[in-house]
Amino acid sequence: MAIDQLAVIILAAGKGKRMQSSMAKVLHPLAGRPIITYVLDTAVKVAGSNIVVVIGNQAEQVREQVSRHVKTQFAYQEIQMGTGHAVHCAMPVLDRRTESVIILCGDVPLIREATLNALARIHQAAEHTVTLLGVDMEDPTGYGRIITDGEGQVERIVEEADATEAEKQISTINSGIYCVHRAFLESALPGLNSDNAQNEIYLTDIISVAVQANEPIGLMVAEHATELLGVNTPEDLQRLESLFSDS
């Protein structure tokens, strides 16, 4: 896919309350560098300069660190109302030539270029409207579960806080990484609501919108769960530090 057809949106506006720190989560150092810089390095390899970083909490500090590292565009999420709202804030900033968008979290530093390129290729070749990246985990606690029908077709994603006990037993979890047709995002995002346990606008709800509209949805299951590890707590960060030390 040509660079001017593929964009990357990086979500970096959250506070990261569970980090128990006054520092924005994506700015915490990992092996001597802010977490988000690893995500930026990978995004540049995939989409060149066609990147939008959504900032909010400690916006100027995040903007400064990102700008030192790569050339990107920025979108501002004044109130952190969830991932769906964050992507909505980024849409007007996208290059007008963009056809598909890879959505990344700014706190997943081990995500590989090869994985994102494979996601984009599958998305384009199968002409999916939405392709999500999942991963099988032995302990899926804390993650959104991917709900499929009897034929393995994606039906929806349910967040841990909203999941039933049966749904919590599902081991295929949502990585929070998607490749989505831009036109679909533009039509679906304004209709999302915050009717859920967290009172947030979930990006995951675009799956239900796509199902209802009979849009083709793809699922790519990553080979390596390690590359999808996110940083939500000090323990998560310590675990990643150990992985860097061992590599």
pLDDT: which is higher, 16 or 4: 16
Q: What does the mean pLDDT of the chain come to?
A: 93
Cα(19)–Cα(75) distance, integer angstroms: 24
Per-residue pLDDT, 247: 62
Per-position b or e across 65-89, b if 16+ CB within 10 A of its CB: bbeebeebebbebeeebbbbbbbbb
Domain chopping of the chain, boundaries: 3-246
Task: Name the residues annotated as catalytic.
Answer: 18
Share of the chain above pLDDT 90, in %: 79
Instruction: Return the percent helix, strand and coil in the chain, to nearest 5.
Output: 40, 25, 35
Per-residue pLDDT, 11: 98
At 59-114, the pLDDT tens digits run 999 999 999 999 999 999 999 899 999 999 999 999 999 999 999 999 999 999 99
At 165-201, the pLDDT tens digits run 999 999 999 999 999 999 999 999 999 999 888 899 9
CATH homologous superfamily for the domain 3-246? Spore Coat Polysaccharide Biosynthesis Protein SpsA; Chain A (3.90.550.10)
Per-residue pLDDT at 244 exceeds 70:
yes
Closest CA to 66 of 104, 36, 22, 29: 36
Share of the chain above pLDDT 70, in %: 98
pLDDT band at residue 3 under the 50/70/90 scheme:
very low
Per-residue pLDDT at 246 exceeds 90:
no
Closest CA to 51 of 82, 93, 13: 93
At 131-146, the pLDDT tens digits run 999 999 988 988 899 9
